[in-house]
A and B are shown apart, each in its own frame.
Chain A
Amino acid sequence: MNVGIAQGERNPNSSWLNSRGVWLTYIILVFVLHFILLSIPYITTSVAWTLTTTIHNLCNYYLFHVVKGAPWETSDQGRARRFTFWEQIDDGIQWTGTRKFLQIVPVVLFFIASFYTKYDKTHFLINLATMLLAVVPKFPIFFGVRLLDINRY
């Protein structure tokens, strides 16, 4: 595969989110996105926050729950091919630190966005919808579930 692989880790996808600095970088990237949106002149603060949460949640949903398999030629002989990234984290163990962190971030963003949009009805509905899209598939009850056979293979 690659140079001198000295570790026996079968799927690097299961552990790289636990590395040092990843959580901090994730939060930094969200704020960088927000600042980029804020610098566009015709967008108000509330629209910027709603856009940030929406883009973050949509990317979150796509990367964690739609894309399956791992971007490496793993040595687990294809076992992870049918699992989404969320299901591969920590080899399927639920309620680890990384999983709790990733479940909390959309909720916190929802609170911040609700505050900055002054609890306006339309913004609330949009933020709530995308937050549910990002948080609900992460529940343990949905582990391995493919509703209506979408994305099964």
Chain B
Amino acid sequence: MFLDKLMSPKTAVNQNLDIVMSNYQTNKPGDDNNRTSDHRNREEFEETPTWAAVVTVLGYAILSALGWLRDFLRHIVVFTRSKQISYECFYTRNLYTRIRDVFNQPIASVAGAKVHVMERVSDDYNWTFKFSGKKIPSINLGSYNYLGFAENQGPCSEQAIKSIETYAVTTCSTRHELGHQRYVKELESLMAEYLNVEDCIAFGMGFATNALNIPTLAGKGDLILSDKLNHVSLILGARLSGATIRTFNHNDMKDLEAHLRKAIISGQPRTCRPWKKILIIVEGVYSMEGSLCKLPEIIELKKKYKAYLYVDEAHSIGAIGSRGRGVVDYWKVDPNDIEIHMGTFTKSFGSAGGYIAGKKNIIDYIRVSSHSACYSSSMSAPIVQQIISALSIIMGRDGTNDGQKRIQQLACNVRYFRRQLVDMGFIVYGNNNSPVVPVMLFMPAKIAAVNREMLKRDCAVVTVGFPATLLTESRVRFCISAGHTKEMLDHALKAMDEVGHLVSLRYSKKNPHHRWVELDHADYDKEYTS
């Protein structure tokens, strides 16, 4: 903790020892590298051009200098809107409020492939908003609606509404008391079959699944090795558990091996006793980067050093893999090699909640001793019915091949969209197959500019900047859905092309820059229909 470091500031000498340890690695060349460096599986993280980084930092420096000046003036002159001036709100006051209208935009319809965004106007520079009454129908490129199940018509929603007539909306109880309904049992057995594991348990909230179940699995005397870019729910769960946490560089297998070796050799801090267990926590698809975890290499490391593996497939279940079964299906690994499969129902299944799946004895232990299973109320009937209907469609149980068509439509859309963005000259991060498409913006003003300009062209996108991402890596993050038709994607690409020209977003040095009209569309169309 921070205060411990105050007592004895760790010097960089100890860190040099880490570098020495990392030289003792034994990865045989060309081992599993063949699978992870396959052409279809390429991951690109093009480096920031130096001039763009300098201009970005200059931008933040100028904004901060102006912020200091404005705070000073607020201090000596009483404005009409003088708020309590504290240093913690410096960023919110001076930088965030300037572009506040592009975040937290209210919507007025189903967040499907198209969404109605409510227009807001502000007279006092984004301190207060008023609705103008107009609703902007726009293409939804921000919702995690990967398989297009976020719709209010169709078999899923009909069955969900019918289930309210049978089961009512809530059970008013926890699972351990009177809340264990048969639909939850049906969901758990269906999910276990879907993932090809022994058993599964479902929870009402995806964030809580991570935050409250990692403390059940790990405790004092354990070691948790988590990726640097893991989600906040995993980090919160790890902190709550009381285990020792070490982070390794994102998707860096050499770093992970070095940490494993160092941990096993030196043991627990202070007492040097052996660790009770080592838990490696990774995600299937990282939602800010669009990268996939290198599962075969992690499993090889895990077997070699006898650690346990926890994979959070929140964004990858249903969206990745030839049959939609997540990263396990994508990499074609044995599901029994991974101790804990975790995922959420929010993204691909159009519902809410999370699940943990694995061997029966682990799941039975979680059923008994997890805080989330004991104290949170059980899932509601229409939510569970929506998941069951979506699962039946994906698995093909409803008799049609609608599920497989959706998975293929998503894969087509992702390929089409990504290829054209890369060919136009934008810097796009992530794996070629991931439905999360982050495009780099870098400068703080472009965060607002891109969002507003895309909304003018009827595309609702999500732009993120510092401190949610690194200082010089603000991005716009597209989430492709199976519900997007080719015309919608063309419209979005044309809009991005115009906005990219207006705001000059074509940074790539590896790929040549093209305008939309210069691209050879027949080539892309041929690939799309295949």
Contact = CB atoms under 8 A, between A and B. Distances in A.
Interface in B49-92: 50, 52-54, 56-58, 61, 87-92
Interface in A90-108: 91-96
B317 interface: no
A128 interface: no
B279 interface: no
Interface string A16-40: 1001111011001100000000000
A144 B6 contact: yes
A135 interface: no
A147 interface: no
A6 B56 contact: no
A25 B58 contact: yes
B12 interface: yes
A71 B96 CA distance: 12
B462 interface: yes
A16 B12 contact: no
Give the interface size bracket for A toward B.
35 or more
Nearest to A19: B471
Nearest to A97: B12
Given A5-B468, A91-B2, A73 B12 contact: no
A46 B58 CA distance: 27
B383 interface: no
A79 B88 CA distance: 13
Given A3-B103, A92-B5, A92-B6, A22 B468 contact: no
A80 interface: yes
A10 to B, nearest CB: 8
Contact of B87 (A19, A71, A94, A144): A71
Contacts of A41: none
Given A4-B468, A21-B57, A92-B2, A71 B462 contact: no
Contact of B229 (A4, A6, A80): A6
A79 B11 contact: no
B472 interface: yes
A2 B87 contact: no
Contact of B50 (A9, A21, A91, A93): A21
Contacts of A91: 2, 5
Contacts of B288: 4, 6-7
B88 A72 contact: yes
B88 A21 contact: no
Given A6-B232, A9-B467, A25 B11 contact: no
Interface string A81-94: 00100000001111
A2 B103 contact: yes
Give the interface size bracket for B toward A.
35 or more
B469 interface: yes
A47 B12 CA distance: 39
Contacts of A73: 88-89, 92
B88 A29 contact: no
Given A6-B229, A16-B471, A19-B472, A93 B12 contact: yes
B231 A6 contact: yes
A76 interface: yes
B9 A92 contact: yes
Interface in B441-478: 462-472
A70 interface: yes
Nearest to A7: B229
Given A21-B57, A94-B9, A143-B9, A6 B2 contact: no
B54 A4 contact: no
Contacts of B471: 12, 16, 19, 22
Contacts of A70: 87-88
A21 B54 CA distance: 5
B91 A71 contact: yes
B10 interface: yes
A19 B57 contact: yes
A7 B234 CA distance: 10
B517 interface: no
B235 interface: yes
A6 B462 CA distance: 14
Interface in B247-298: 286-288
A95 B9 CA distance: 10
Interface string B5-21: 11001111101000000
A80 B6 CA distance: 11
A6 B228 CA distance: 11
Contacts of A5: 232, 467-468
Among all A-B residue pairs, the 5 with the closest Cβ atoms: A21-B53, A8-B235, A71-B90, A92-B5, A25-B57
14 contacts: A3-B462, A3-B468, A4-B464, A6-B229, A9-B467, A19-B472, A21-B50, A22-B53, A22-B471, A25-B54, A71-B88, A93-B9, A93-B15, A96-B15
